[in-house]
Amino acid sequence: MDFELDDTVATVRDFVHAFADQTLRPLAREADEKGKLPAGVIKQLGQLAGNRATIMAEERVQTSEDKKPIGAMVGVVGSEELAWGDPAVLLNIPGPGLAAPSITAAGTPEQKKRFLADIFNVESEEPRFGALAVTEPQAGSDVSNVQTTAVRDGDEWVLNGTKVYCTNGARADIVVVNATLDKSLGRAGQKFFVIEKGAPGFKIGKIEKKMGIRASETAEFALDDCRVPLDNILGGVDALEAAREGSGFKGTMKTFDSSRPSVAAMALGIGRAAYEYARDWAASELPMSSNFTRRNAITSKLGTMKRELDSARGLIWRAAWMADNKIPNSKEASMSKAYAPQAALRCCIGAIQIMGPEGYSKEHLVEKWFRDIKVYDIFEGTGQIQRVIISRAILGRLDK
């Protein structure tokens, strides 16, 4: 087994790290205090990120020089670096965001071009965002309970329902929502629909005020007889037949198989930021002459943090490698998502513990990372839900 990163992946990692270090990290504190970034800065972020949006869309780095598929590895390695820079500022970088995995997994080639390559074209002057809205007031962990409906009316779909906690949901140029075509089919009756900005009946609700990732927009919206063209069902109108045959829900789950390792990688990036900060603080603030017992406790804690971060990275890279090699990775994606956020949370707590009151102070970013990390154990499926998925995969579905 080769743990060396492919040259292309390593180049992307170094490029993204420099961007995270020089651009994202310096914006972190002010963005957290204000709860948002100025529009001009968001525009600059889009320009500075250069062709990142396109990389994440159609022309994403898919193969190494010797033609091995590496798209998923690029995704997790880049996500770790960006979140290391700042997780909330990262979510303000224009691009398709979580809309991309669902369109990539369930869209037709024409839809991938129309909703990803065309909209998130590097030539576009204005920042553009994509979002994925699955969660509803009564359905998040239990995706099968989604109440939003889609009904065909001639050349259009008419959607009704409420979506909550949607990252970038209010400013998105496209929002991918899952809705049920036929409740009698249960979860098999769900499909993804793309709602474009300005669609009639798309009504933005409240913007959440949050404990962490405060500069990231989290929105509620209602679909009130919201009309979208017939072609906006992901997979095309033929998807309707697939839903009748019972494969609709699989599209939703396939999306998570590709997005969960990336979200786990973001958690890893936050944990690594806290670990490195505490390590460097200890090296400069605690000279060799300081209390031996305290030094020993700190070095031991740092060792544990590093071990947990490396374990998380192993799980994440395995899930990404499997995706690149077209090996089903639901269980492994969930393992990475179950482990990394909690390991990173322990690292953030450890960093505060090492630094004592300084770790609690707003003089340092450690207290912010501690607030930011928790949501990684909530969105894209909570830690508990990942455990349910893993145990079902290990034991077989006992409730079949």
Of 199, 204, 222, 388, which lies in the binding site for ligand FAD, with binding defined by CB under 6 A?
A: 388
d(CA 77, CA 59): 17
Of 381, 386, 389, 390, which lies in the binding site for ligand FAD, with binding defined by CB under 6 A?
A: 381
Instruction: Decide whether 202 or 379 has the Cβ nearer to ligand FAD.
Output: 379
Find the shortest distance in angstroms from Cβ 378 to ligand FAD: 5
Phi/psi zone of residue 64: left (φ > 0), alpha (ψ -120 to 50 degrees), beta? Answer: beta
Alpha carbon separation from 145 to 125, 137, 149, 179, 250 (Å, rounded): 40, 10, 11, 10, 15
Q: Which two tokens stand for residue 168?
A: 């970038």
d(CA 255, CA 97): 12
Of 79, 218, 258, 262, which lies in the binding site for ligand FAD, with binding defined by CB under 6 A?
A: 218
Instruction: Decide whether 350 or 381 has the Cβ nearer to ligand FAD.
Output: 381
CA dihedral 94, 37, 281, 262 (to 10 degrees): -30
Instruction: Decide whether 134 or 298 has the Cβ nearer to ligand FAD.
Output: 134
d(CA 146, CA 162): 10
User: Does 133 engage in binding with ligand FAD (CB under 6 A)?
Assistant: yes
Find the shortest distance in angstroms from Cβ 305 to ligand FAD: 25
Please choose, from the candidates 125, 112, 203, the residue with its C-alpha nearest in 3D space to the C-alpha of residue 159. 203
Taking contact as CB under 6 A, which single stretch among the options 282-290, 312-320, 348-356, 383-391 is the one that binds ligand FAD? 383-391
Catalytic residue annotation: 380
Q: Which positions from 317 through 376 interact with ligand FAD, judged by CB under 6 A?
A: 375
d(CA 23, CA 29): 12
Of 120, 165, 275, 277, which lies in the binding site for ligand FAD, with binding defined by CB under 6 A?
A: 165
Taking contact as CB under 6 A, which single stretch among the options 44-52, 59-67, 260-268, 377-385 is the one that binds ligand FAD? 377-385
Please choose, from the candidates 324, 335, 337, 313, the residue with its C-alpha nearest in 3D space to the C-alpha of residue 392. 335
Of 102, 104, 167, 262, which lies in the binding site for ligand FAD, with binding defined by CB under 6 A?
A: 167
User: From the centroid of its chain, how far is CA 224?
Assistant: 27
Q: 101 near 131, Cβ under 8 Å?
A: no
Applying CB under 6 A, the site for ligand FAD has a residue count of 22
d(CA 110, CA 117): 10
Find the shortest distance in angstroms from Cβ 241 to ligand FAD: 26
Please choose, from the candidates 272, 256, 262, 263, the residue with its C-alpha nearest in 3D space to the C-alpha of residue 345. 272
Taking contact as CB under 6 A, which single stretch among the options 161-169, 248-256, 300-308, 343-351 is the one that binds ligand FAD? 161-169
Q: Which positions from 177 through 206 interact with ligand FAD, judged by CB under 6 A?
A: none
Q: Per-residue contact track with ligand FAD, 95 to 124, x per CB under 6 A? A: ---x--------------------------
Sign of CA dihedral 74, 268, 255, 196: negative
Q: Which residues bind ligand FAD (CB under 6 A)?
A: 98, 131-135, 140-141, 165-167, 210, 213, 218, 375, 378-379, 381-382, 384-385, 388
